[in-house]
Amino acid sequence: MYKNEKDNNIQITLPLVSKNEDNAVFPLVINVLTKFWGEITPDDEISQRTTLYKNHTGTIFIEGFEIVEKKFNLLSKIYRGSLDDLKKRLGQGVPLIVILPGINETIQFATIVTGYDPEEKRLITYVPEPDTFGAIPEEKFFSEWAQEDFLTIIIYPEDAKDILKNSSFMFEKTNRITLEAERLKIQGKSKEALELLTSTLTGYEEGKDNPQLLLMIAGILNEQDDEKCVELYEKIMEINPKFYLAHRGLGNYYLKRKNYLRAKQHYLDAVDISPSRYGPIYKNLGITFLNLGNDASAKDSFKEYLQRVPNAPDRKNILDFINS
């Protein structure tokens, strides 16, 4: 770790890991931290677990956590963080994984915060390229992180647990279970996932206030066209009005129910929170405008969709409508 005593700059040096080493069950960010703590990537274990998800293109974080906990003396926590906590961990020499909003066709992504520059008020993030790093203004970082309810992941050696013993990690237990339920859902076991989540909601006091848990339940109910998801989405937005995925989810629900006015409002709320995030939302917004008889706004939304998703499979049909 590099620390300038004069200006209190902190920057932790992490090993360079190729983007090609990113894997659904062992994402790049976990791979980097595994090597940072002196361990070798467990290729055999990764290969074995990967066979279970041949058709899945996303990340199954719970698999990665189980791998490092099984193979090495590493521990993990998934919790709601804060800027103060983040700066404290960096000062202790512990880099953190944070979940941030995606862009265009990516809904969200994980990155590692490796340092903080108090003079410039910037967070330093890991970039898997030689002599390269990212720098995000603190205010912008906070605003974007809030969209994910400050979701944070810490991976650390068992022999370092004493430095964390007096710290609290909000939603640690229910976030872990939420990721276990997510894995069940990816495996096609939505019923089992919902049962696990609902039992967690009633069994843990923190569950009723955890947006990550509530969002997972709402998402499964939404897929089942169950109106109970509405109450959960609204609860999430009450806890965190900036939780983008709750606004998007509720917009999707109302779109399916052909309640276009409500769908429009929630899509617009999501876009207001983050105009550059997730291009496909503009397609759904365009559909709502179209069904409300507002062709001009529909075309504007579809143009935005194609700009953000240039290789959209429905590009030709949408262009035909825009040019009509």
- Taking the whole predicted model, whether its pTM rises above 0.85 is answered as yes
Q: Which residues contact 232 (CB under 8 A, 6 or more apart)?
A: 214, 215, 217, 218, 221
Domain C-terminal end among 237, 255, 271: 237
Q: How far, in Å, CA of 155 to CA of 95, rounded?
A: 8
* E-strand stretches of 66-185: 74-80, 96-101, 108-117, 122-126, 133-137, 151-157
Where does the pLDDT of residue 66 fall: very low under 50, low under 70, confident under 90, or very high at 90 and above? very high
pLDDT at position 53: 92
User: Do residues 7 and 148 share a domain?
Assistant: yes
Q: How far, in Å, CA of 112 to CA of 163, rounded?
A: 20
The amino acid that residue 171 corresponds to is F
Mean pLDDT, range 133-149, rounded to an integer: 95
- Percent of all residues in the chain with a pLDDT value above 90, rounded to a whole number: 85
* pLDDT digit string, tens, across residues 176-213: 999 999 999 999 999 999 999 999 999 999 999 999 99
Give the helix, strand, coil percentages of the chain, each rounded to 5.
Answer: 55, 15, 30
pLDDT at 15 over 70: yes
pLDDT at position 7: 53
Domain C-terminal end among 205, 237, 269: 237
pLDDT at 1 over 50: no
Mean pLDDT, range 6-17, rounded to an integer: 81
User: Do residues 72 and 111 share a domain?
Assistant: yes
Q: Which residues is 97 bridged to in the sheet?
A: 112, 153
User: Do residues 166 and 21 share a domain?
Assistant: yes
User: Do residues 216 and 321 share a domain?
Assistant: no
Q: For residue 158, what are its two tokens?
A: 């068992």
* pLDDT digit string, tens, across residues 80-104: 999 999 999 999 999 999 999 988 8
Q: What is the CATH number of the domain that holds 309?
A: 1.25.40.10
Q: What is the CATH number of the domain that holds 93?
A: 3.90.70.10
* Lowest-pLDDT range of 9-13, 124-128, 198-202: 9-13
Phi-psi region of 50 (alpha: psi -120 to 50; beta: other; left: phi over 0): alpha
Q: How many domains, in total, are found in the chain?
A: 3
Phi-psi region of 149 (alpha: psi -120 to 50; beta: other; left: phi over 0): left
User: Do residues 55 and 166 share a domain?
Assistant: yes
H-run or E-run covering 9: strand 9-11
User: Do residues 200 and 299 share a domain?
Assistant: no
pLDDT at position 253: 98
By three-state DSSP, how is residue 93 classified? coil
User: Do residues 28 and 146 share a domain?
Assistant: yes
Domain C-terminal end among 197, 216, 237: 237
CA dihedral 218, 222, 225, 226 (to 10 degrees): 10
Q: What is the CATH number of the domain that holds 190?
A: 1.25.40
Q: Which domain holds residue 213?
A: 172-237
User: Do residues 193 and 306 share a domain?
Assistant: no
Mean pLDDT, range 141-167, rounded to an integer: 92
Q: How far, in Å, CA of 137 to CA of 123, rounded?
A: 6
User: Do residues 44 and 69 share a domain?
Assistant: yes
Where does the pLDDT of residue 5 fall: very low under 50, low under 70, confident under 90, or very high at 90 and above? very low
* pLDDT digit string, tens, across residues 282-322: 999 999 999 999 999 999 999 999 999 999 999 999 999 99
| Selection from 32, 12, 36 nearest residue 22 by Cα | 32
pLDDT at position 10: 85
Q: How far, in Å, CA of 167 to CA of 162, rounded?
A: 10
User: Do residues 70 and 163 share a domain?
Assistant: yes
Q: For residue 37, what are its two tokens?
A: 């703590």
pLDDT at 4 over 70: no
If one compares 129 and 62, the residue with the highest pLDDT of the two is 62
pLDDT at 2 over 60: no
User: Do residues 219 and 252 share a domain?
Assistant: no
* Lowest-pLDDT range of 19-23, 29-33, 131-135, 262-266: 131-135
User: Do residues 158 and 185 share a domain?
Assistant: no
Mean pLDDT, range 137-144, rounded to an integer: 96
